[in-house]
Structure 1
Amino acid sequence: MPGAELAGRITAAFQPIVMRCRRGWSVFAYEALARGPTGEPADAVLGALRRAADPHVVDMACRIAALRDAASLGLAALPTLVSINVLPNAALRPETCLAATVAAARRYGFPPERVLFEMTETEAVRDVALLAEIIAAQRAQGVRVALDDFGAGHSGLGLLVACRPDIVKLDRHLVRGADRDPVRARLARAVAQACRDLGIVVVAEGVETAGELDALHAAGIRHFQGYLLSRPGLGCLPDASAALRAAEATLRRARAAPRA
């Protein structure tokens, strides 16, 4: 399998994506984040690998490493999704496509309905129509698809219309300071409302402060990811229970505080 040898030079750290519903807070998914063999940052490791090998094969290697490490940590036994990043153009190639990753996921104990593919925004999509067909075929098998970094880079409204994702991840540049910047707050609310009308889940990523969490929750967002809730865990699945309790306490305080 392409990328299998490279996967030995990559490890995965896992960060929870949490959600709030009527029953309270829970972990929705764990996103796999590429790291080096001893936890080196993704930029340094992937930069070196992509200079030495086909970037799309490296991308496949990251997916294999993510599934391998997720299985070794027992994630397959949990009722959450495993979220894996994908370069859109890698999905267009037979040897590095989504179907090949789903087959690998099955071997590691993850059925398609437990897999979430995050389409990253680091490259322009070469063939949007073909990507839409590929995504539709995998969604028919139960796989879920997210547009990552929505509102930045190449991840925009055109790709949303063409690919009809299950999830949109609001870019951290729109999240940052949403409690202090009315423009960011209004944009977050507009995206949340539009996606709600379309049946798309919105995840606010990069949440770092209690104020941001409160503002984004007030904007109608119910899925969150960021250092406020949990840092990525290398060699472990972070225990998000304390962070979930803290998030609920934050919202309770915000609701009780007088509004200006």
Structure 2
Amino acid sequence: MNVDLTVSFQPIFLLGKRRRQVGAEYLVRGKGGFSNPLTLFNWAKSFGKLKQADINCCFTCAEAASRYNGMVFINIFSCTLAELLEHAKDIFIFVPPERLVFEISEQDALRNLDMIHRAVAAWKAMGVRFAIDDIASGYDRIAALVELEPAFIKLDGALTRNCHINQTRQIVIKHLVKMARELHVDIIAEMIETIDEYDALKKLGVKYGQGFLLCKPKQAE
């Protein structure tokens, strides 16, 4: 199963009067009918090759990010983390551990929470950090996820969209920010598309952000 892959990246910024790029999320897309990553990974899963495909995508992103000096965020399936440990030294050739951040989606992490604790601890012992992606709401779920002690929590676009005019979303974000500060976790807001959303998130105490307002995804060289 050979699929040609392309890599794009979307910068992540420190929100403030002088916003500054601090990292980038690297994203893999397949050519042809595999432009949607879910299509690509579902296809690989149908052949029993999900972990292999995930590892290949991780290496592809790491190699594409080798010249970048900021934090490098790479999406990974939780079921791949343990097997990927065997390739850690090879990945660090491209991205040193202190700059590498693995992103795990909220739902994926919850499904495999008991299984991944040891693998997460092993990666963190080498200096790699973790981000929990697609956080929307649900304190019981968030409480379980923070047992992984991530460095970052990424707010889903469902929360950030129109947050400047939605009081309920503002309340949820405000409490998430408060909780994150107490846990020494930084929050990254995704899908910031308007200056009003940007100003509201900044006012609510969100530290980092990404989205079309700040910078659209770019093709990696």
TM range (shorter): 0.7 to 0.9
Following TM superposition, the consecutive aligned residue runs of length 4 or more in structure 1 with deviations greater than 6 angstroms are none
Alignment partner, residue 33 of structure 1: 27
- Determine the structure 2 residue equivalent to 1:225: 210
Asked whether the 8 Å contact 1:179–1:215 carries over to 2, the reply is yes
Counterpart contact for 1:135–1:163, Cα < 8 Å: yes
**Among 91, 105, 113, the residue aligned to 2:91:** 105
Q: CA RMSD in A?
A: 2.5
Structure of larger gyration radius: 1
Structure 2 counterpart of 1:40, one-letter code: S
1:166 to 1:103, Cα distance in 2 relative to 1, 3 A: same
Q: Does 1:89 align with 2:100?
A: no
Equivalent residue, structure 1, for 2:128: 143
Q: Secondary structure at the match of 1:227?
A: coil
**What are the Cα deviations for residues 96-143 of structure 1, in whole angstroms up to 9, with x where unaligned?**
x3x2453232222x2110100001235364542342232122222211
Which residue in the other structure is 1:251 paired with? none
Q: CA deviation at 1:194?
A: 0.8
Amino acid at match of 1:194: M
Looking at structure 2, the residues matched to 65 and 198 of structure 1 have their Cα atoms a distance apart, in angstroms, of 33
Deviation at 1:18, TM superposition (A): 0.6
Instruction: State the partner residue of 2:10.
Output: 15
Give aligned-pair identity as a percent.
27
Counterparts of 2:46 and 2:209 in 1: how far apart (Å)? 33
Answer with 123-132 or 26-35: which moved more.
123-132
Distance 1:53 1:170 in 2: 31
Structure 2 gaps of 5+ residues are none
1:189 maps to which of 150, 174, 179: 174
Q: Is the 8 A contact 2:109 2:145 kept in 1?
A: no
TM-score norm. by structure 1 comes to 0.75
Q: 2:161 — aligned with what?
A: 176
The 3-state SS of whatever aligns with 1:89 is: helix
Q: Is the 8 A contact 2:16 2:202 kept in 1?
A: no
> For the residues of structure 2 that align with 1:46 and 1:130, how far apart are their CA atoms?
21
The code of the aligned residue for 2:5 comes to I
Report how many residues are paired: 219
| Residue 50 of structure 1 pairs with residue 45 of structure 2 | yes
Alpha carbons of 1:49 and 1:82: their partners in 2 closer, same or farther (altered >3 Å)? Answer: same
**Secondary structure in 2 aligned to 1:142?**
coil
Comparing 160-169 with 144-153, which one deviates more in the overlay?
144-153
Q: Distance in 2 between matches of 1:141 and 1:124?
A: 20
Q: Is structure 2 residue 49 aligned with structure 1 residue 64?
A: no
Match of 1:156 among 141, 144, 151: 141
Letter in structure 2 aligned against 1:189: K
1:231 Cα offset (Å): 1.0
- Per-residue CA deviations over 1:27-50 (Å, capped at 9, x if unaligned) read 121111111247934344334333
Distance in 2 between the 1:165 and 1:11 partners?
A: 28
